[in-house]
Amino acid sequence: MFIPHTDSERQEMLKCIGKDSLESLFSDIPEKYRFPKLDLPPALSEMEALQELTELASANNSCDELICFLGAGSYNHYIPAAVDMLLRRGDFFTAYTPYQPEISQGTLQAVFEFQSLIANLTGMEVSNASHYDGATACAEACLSAYHHFRGKRNKFIISPSLHPHYCDTIRTYLGALDGIQIMDKSESIQQVNPQFLAEQIDENTALVIVQYPDFLGRVVDFTSFGKTVHEAGSLFAVAVNPIALGLLKPPSEFDADFVVGEGQPLGIPMSFGGPYLGFFATKSELIRKISGRIVGETVDGKGNRGYVLTLTAREQHIRREKATSNICTNQGLMALAATIYMSLLGKSGLRKVAELCYQKAHYASEQIAKISGFKIRKEWIFFNEFVVECPENPKTINDFLLHEGVLGGLDLGDYYPEMKNCILFAVTEKNTKEDIDILTELLEEAVANG
Amino acid sequence: MAEPTIYELSSPGRIGIRFPVSDVPQQELPENLLRKELPMPELSELDVIRHFTHLSRLNYSIDEGFYPLGSCTMKFNPRINEVTARLPGFLNSHPFQPIETIQGNLAVMYLLQEWLKEITGFHSVSLQPAAGAHGELVGGLIMRAFHKKRKDEKRTKILVPDSAHGTNPATSSMAGFEPVNIPSDKRGNIDLEKLKALCDENTAGLMLTNPNTLGLFEENVLEVIRIVHDAGGLVYGDGANLNALLGVVKPGMMGFDILHINLHKTFSTPHGGGGPGSGPVAVLEHLSSFLPDPVVDILEEGSEELPPLYGLIKPENSIGRVKAFHGHFGVIVRALTYVLMNGAEGLRDVAKYAVLNANYLMGILKKAYTLPYDRTCKHEFVLEGVWDELPEIHALDVAKRLMDYGIHPPTNYFPLIVKEALMIEPTETESKQTLDEFARVMLQIAKEAHENPELLHEAPHHTPVGRLDEVKAARDLVLCCWRPEND
């Protein structure tokens, strides 16, 4: 399929190169292993393939049909129609890495604008072109800090309330380096706060990384904590939800060195967890210490403004084994989606979405708190996710919700034994008051029935 | 006239999209946490549509024309892939949904795992890695975990041929190893004597791209693998060039221990202007317990009436997670669609015609350009973009001149072992007419180089911008178009 050659063209081409068959082009491959049997289903036409995939897709119960209150790192936000319409332009999605800037100015300028928007959203000075996702952006922040101190500081303080997948990813990445000390445990996840983290900081600490809002949805002001980290000479990284930054003060006000995060909420579908978008912003003085592609502005011979990949001397294709990461281009189209999303929403739209998330989540938490047996931690400030302590097994409750067409929150007992009765609910601008009232009624019913 | 940036187009007060009026009571965030300034642009939807439409027109793409970028496998991206990946059931599923509600997704992943195993001859596959380089990192970490489990911790070196992509040595370092360079011989194969001399009890493994970056199949592949195995090392296959081998040979059967696969090259998922890719990793049985968390498996066997129950599991000795969630699912759906539409013979034809196209072009172009390794190539070949009698002309000039003819240049200055390299990969989806036109232009440029070299030096002449000042870009860093304090 997708091969245009006619029989006569094939013959003519073979004749040109002095071969009598296509098979004869492979005589350098050990004969014993050449042209093995390949047991695959028979080829389908486009129509049949679409039918087959449609059947598989409809075997899911997706958030098309379900009312979604699940978040925990992937969020059900509204994506304006224009985002996907623009992404589908072949000039964008069938191009590759802009190695030849003269014919890649579209991609290059879009990346430059992405860098600018991310820098302004996070309050930082500069941003790179992207990482694979929020988890690997966190891991790359750790690697940057490791190399920044030339391996001389080897303690990494990972807030235990960082997303558990991000913690796992950091452990995997750092596990390959010798003599690394990773502090990512606590007796109680609920007790994790700046003071708990500050007590672990010493002169051997390379990096402290926290999440804002954290995995349990909590928002903490890290302004003075940032000073504590820097007093020890350590670097400070903050993983953020970019939508929350429409309302919350940016981590630049905590004097963060690296602001990283998952860009999925910025106009990228949930798509069962990927492809997403890692973003990575920093201070100007640290730009040469970070990995990933970076686009810079310049001019051509006639003085016209243009854009190129720059500071490439940091990267694997130049530095080879001395590079701090092997990362190449990644997530280009997802960064473009986020760029279009941020451009469309702009100053007022990003604020509005953040306010809607905040207000609806607070309405939901108040309604749930009114149900007998359900408890909310009132002292916790949150953005759009909150923990609910349930009178029943969360699995039973979630099963009941699902049966009634509602996708409940994350069962926190799966991650933290101490929270075995807790559910993490997420609310976005897509949830109407009616959705929330349905959720509240069903929770009441679930307990009454139980 | 250059396209203004999104900030230059901004007009205070303009909005691009309206959201519903809040239907719940107003709540206020504590003042100390509230953001004061949100320095984002303000545009209408039409402003945004026009801006990105203008930008898209400044790009060259496969949809526009021939894109023979070596080592990148710029084949046609079937449009049906874009439709299947956006089916609402896939697109709107959350990664933490209960498994009973996402059996369709898990079936897609399970099928692709199974089919990739069949295509490559390995025992197990993880779809988690996000890109080729990410797959390489997984491979390196598996090597490390394997030797560590056997308490064989003195194995600190990874052998990397001098023709390798820069990611191979970078990956070795990132996975905690020291890369050791192995030279190539005159036929473009690994120098066997050097390999034997370098293999010892410190060897963790070898990273081998096959066909290599010269587009040549490693003729002594079985011997190379035997030497590394005899020394106690593992052989990692960099699958960047798997397109040439589909249905032709299964690397797992030849003795490779680990292989990564680029779905965005071999399996037609689009390159997206630089991602998202997907770099599944396949391993032999003795390494399957080390794969990253998670893999998809059958939890309960099905019956004639009932499909099996699929679930996500963490392999016993897993190296851990390498990213959040389960891999680039949207890319996985596209690749599955492609395999479904090709079947066994279709995939075998992919390799056959990719190799035919490369040899056909090589045969024509070697008359005007130096071909340093002259033997049957696989999916690509490497020329020198330089002539002895024209010291002032470089591969870069040839590359830039191609743009004037509306063709994307080949990869240049890589691999490093060829001077002034031009690495050409036509792929199987290009017709004889397209190849003939490219060959005609390349011969014309060789002629121009001799008769009118200024045409090459000053190229490109017909692109939105001319050659850009990369030194200035790195010296006077401008990485952000607008910052609040500049306003």
| B180: enclosing H helix or E strand | strand B178-182
**Are residues B223 and B242 in contact, defined by beta-carbon separation less than 8 angstroms?**
no
Our CA angle for A98, A99, A103, nearest 5°, is 60
Q: Please tell me whether residue B87 adopts helix, strand or coil conformation.
A: coil
CA gap B39, B15 in Å, rounded: 14
Q: B 236-295 residues with CB below 8 A of A?
A: 247-250, 253-254, 268, 270-278, 292-293
Element (H, E) at B211: none
Nearest chain B residue to A246 by CA distance is B38
Where exactly does CATH 3.90.1150.10 map onto chain A?
67-78+347-449
Instruction: Tell me, yes or no, whether B42 lies in a domain.
Output: no
Candidates A26, A33, A346; nearest CB to B42 = A346
pLDDT band at B487 (very low <50, low <70, confident <90, very high): very low
Q: Which residues of A touch B277 (CB under 8 A)?
A: 330
The pLDDT of residue B355 is 98
Question: Has residue B29 been placed in a domain?
Answer: no
Q: How many CB atoms lie within 10 A of CB B268?
A: 26
Q: What is the DSSP string of B315-352?
A: -TT----SSSTTS-HHHHHHHHHHHHHHHHHHHHHHHH
Alpha carbon of B85: minimum distance to chain A alpha carbons (Å)? 9
Residue B243: per-residue pLDDT? 98
Any idea of the CA torsion for A68, A69, A74, A77, to the nearest 10 degrees?
60
Tokens 């009232």, located at residue: A437
Decide if pLDDT at B482 tops 80: no
Tokens of B295: 């893999």
Characterize B70-88 residue by residue with b for buried, 16 or more Cβ atoms within 10 angstroms of its Cβ, and e for exposed: bbbbbbbbbebbbbbbbbb
Residue A267's SS3 state is coil
Instruction: Look at residue B476 and tell me if it is in a domain.
Output: no
A450 pLDDT tier (thresholds 50, 70, 90): low
A81-341 topology per CATH? Aspartate Aminotransferase; domain 2 (3.40.640)
Q: Do A91 and B57 contact (CB within 8 A), yes or no?
A: yes
**Interface contact B84-A311, CB threshold 8 A:** no
The boundaries of the domain holding residue B265 are 80-341
Please count the structural domains in chain B: 1
Q: Cα(B53)–Cα(A236) distance, rounded to whole angstroms?
A: 39
Q: What is the pLDDT of residue B486?
A: 43
**pLDDT tens profile A159-201:** 999 999 999 999 999 999 989 999 999 989 988 999 999 999 9
Kindly determine whether residue B399 and residue A100, on different chains, have CB atoms separated by under 8 Å. yes
Rounded CA-CA distance A274/A264 in Å is: 9
CA of A448, closest CA in chain B: separation in Å? 23
- Number of CB pairs, chain A paired with chain B, less than 8 A apart: 671
Digit-coded pLDDT (tens) for A316-371: 888 888 888 899 889 999 999 999 999 999 999 999 999 999 999 999 999 999 99
Provide the CB-side half-sphere exposure for B59 (13 A, CA).
Answer: 28
Tokens representing residue A221 in the block = 């002001």
What's the DSSP call for residue B460?
Answer: -
| Main-chain dihedrals φ then ψ at residue A387, nearest 5 degrees | -95, 135
Average pLDDT over residues B236-252: 97
Average pLDDT over residues A13-30: 97
Q: Do A219 and B248 touch (CB under 8 A)?
A: no
CB contact under 8 A, A70 and B326: no
> Tokens 């090259």 appear where?
B265
Dig out the tokens for B404 from the structure.
Answer: 């004037």
CA distance B175 to chain A (A): 5
* Best to test chain A binding among B61, B149, B172, B401 (most A CBs inside 10 Å): B61
pLDDT at B483 (0 to 100): 65
* Coil, helix or strand at residue A113: helix
CB B163 within 8 A of CB B415: yes
Evaluate if residue A315 carries a pLDDT over 90: no
Q: Is the pLDDT of residue B51 over 60?
A: yes
The predicted-structure confidence for B313-370, as pLDDT tens digits, reads as follows 999 999 999 999 999 999 999 999 999 999 999 999 999 999 999 999 999 999 999 9
Q: Report yes or no: A418 and A386 within 8 Å, Cβ to Cβ.
A: no
Amino acid B1: pLDDT = 61
Please determine, for residue A449, whether its predicted confidence score (pLDDT) is greater than 90: no
Question: Distance (Å) from the C-alpha of residue B182 to the closest C-alpha of chain A?
Answer: 14
**How far is CA A274 from each of CA A80, B91, B349, B363, rounded to the nearest angstrom?**
19, 10, 30, 42
Interchain contact B29–A (C-beta under 8 A)? yes
Cα(B241)–Cα(B246) distance, integer angstroms: 10
Q: Give the per-residue pLDDT at A318.
A: 81
| Superfamily per CATH, domain A67-78+347-449 | Aspartate Aminotransferase, domain 1 (3.90.1150.10)
CATH 3.40.640.10 residue ranges for chain A: 81-341
Q: How confident is the model at residue B484 (pLDDT cuts 50, 70, 90)?
A: low
pLDDT at B485 exceeding the cut of 80: no
Nearest Cα neighbor of B84 from B429, B347, B338, B267 is B338
Q: Which of B415, B422, B442 is nearest to B371 (CA)?
A: B422
Residue B271's CATH number:
3.40.640.10
- The rounded mean pLDDT for chain A is 96
Average pLDDT on B114-141 reads 98
Burial class (CB in 10 A: 0-12, 13-18, 19+), B349: buried
pLDDT at B264: 96
Contact indicator for A30, B222 with CB cutoff of 8 Å: yes
Q: How far apart are CA A298 and CA B164, in angstroms?
A: 31
Report which DSSP code applies to B5: P
Tokens of residue B281, six digits: 């990793």
A contacts of B350 (beta carbons < 8 Å):
3
CA distance B43 to B45: 7
pLDDT value at residue A178: 86
Asked whether the beta carbons of residue A326 and residue B339 sit closer than 8 angstroms, the reply is: no
**Which residues have CB under 8 Å from B32's CB, separation 6+?**
A221, A249
Residues from chain B contacting residue A276 (CB–CB below 8 Å): 324-325
Per this entry, what is the length of chain B? Answer: 487
Share of chain A above pLDDT 90, in %: 92
* Partners of residue A293 in chain B, C-beta under 8 Å: 274
Place of tokens 């598996």: B142
B297-322 residue pLDDT tens: 999 999 999 999 999 999 999 999 99
